[in-house]
C-alpha cells in the first residue's frame, strides 16, 4: 500500500463525493464512520480515498482489488497517535482502553465501526514505523495485534512481539 501527499483540497473534494459510491457500505461502514474519518470518493479515478497521517493517504480502486498510488512512496500509518496515546492514559494499564493494531485501514475502520479504537500499518512493510512509535512509550500499553492470516502478517507480528513482549497477538 503506497501513500502519497494528497492536497487538502483533493481530500475535501473527494469527501464531498463520498455518497456517489456504495463501496463503503459494501465494506460494512456506516455513513457516520465515513464522515468521522473523512473518507472520500474520486469519481474520475473511480477510487476511494483513505486519509492517513501527515496529510498522506491511500487510494483504492472501487472496481478492482488494488491500490492506485505511486510506487516507491512510503505508505502512511492510519491513526498512529493511538499507539502512543494508549500509554499516556491516567488509568492503570489493566483498566486502559485497548488499541488494536491491524494491517490495513479497512480492517481498522471495521474495528472502529464496532466501537473499538484501532490503527493500521497500511501494509506489513510499515512495521518499523510502528516499532519506532512503540519505542517511545514510557511503559507497556494495552495494544492488541490483529494480523492478516498470511506469511507477511506472521512476520510483522513476530518481529513486534519479539521486541515488545507485552504486545498481545490475537489468534487468527
Q: How confident is the model at residue 97 (pLDDT cuts 50, 70, 90)?
A: confident
Q: What are the angstrom distances between the C-alpha of 82 and each of 64, 87, 132?
A: 30, 9, 14
For 7-16, the pLDDT digits (tens) are: 889 999 999 9
pLDDT in tens, 99-136: 999 999 999 999 999 999 999 999 888 899 999 999 99
Query: Would you say 97 and 117 are in contact if contact means Cβ atoms under 8 Å apart?
Result: yes
* Residue found under cell 493517504: 57
In this prediction, residue 46 has a pLDDT band, given cuts at 50, 70 and 90, of very high
Q: Of 47-51, 69-73, 77-81, give the lowest mean pLDDT range.
A: 69-73
User: Does the pTM exceed 0.85?
Assistant: yes
Q: Are 53 and 77 in contact (CB under 8 A)?
A: yes
In the predicted model, what is the mean pLDDT of residues 49-59?
88
Give yes or no for residue 23 having a pLDDT over 80: yes
Question: 118, 114, 54, 109: which is closest to 83 by C-alpha?
Answer: 118
- Work out the average pLDDT over 16-25: 97
Residue 89 confidence (pLDDT) above 70: no
Residue 85's nearest CA partner among 101, 107, 104, 106 is 101
Q: What is the DSSP string of 23-40?
A: HHHHTT--HHHHHHTT-E
Distance separating alpha carbons of residues 62 and 130, to the nearest angstrom: 28
Amino acid at each position: 500500500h503506497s501513500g502519497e501527499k494528497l492536497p487538502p483540497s483533493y481530500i475535501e473534494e473527494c469527501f464531498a463525493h463520498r455518497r456517489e459510491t456504495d463501496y463503503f457500505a459494501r465494506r460494512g461502514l456506516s455513513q457516520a464512520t465515513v464522515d468521522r474519518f473523512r473518507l472520500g470518493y474520486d469519481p474520475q479515478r473511480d477510487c476511494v480515498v483513505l486519509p492517513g497521517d501527515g496529510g498522506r493517504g491511500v487510494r483504492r480502486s472501487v472496481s478492482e482489488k488494488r491500490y492506485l498510488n505511486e510506487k516507491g512512496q512510503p505508505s502512511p500509518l492510519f491513526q498512529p497517535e493511538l499507539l502512543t496515546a494508549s500509554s499516556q492514559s491516567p488509568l492503570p494499564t489493566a483498566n486502559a482502553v485497548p488499541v488494536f493494531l491491524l494491517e490495513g485501514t479497512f480492517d481498522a475502520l471495521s474495528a472502529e465501526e464496532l466501537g473499538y479504537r484501532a490503527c493500521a500499518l497500511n501494509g506489513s512493510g510499515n512495521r518499523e514505523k510502528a516499532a519506532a512509535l512503540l519505542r517511545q512509550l514510557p511503559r507497556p500499553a494495552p495494544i492488541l495485534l490483529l494480523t492478516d492470516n498470511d506469511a507477511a502478517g506472521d512476520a510483522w507480528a513476530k518481529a513486534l512481539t519479539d521486541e515488545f513482549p507485552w504486545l498481545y497477538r490475537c489468534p487468527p
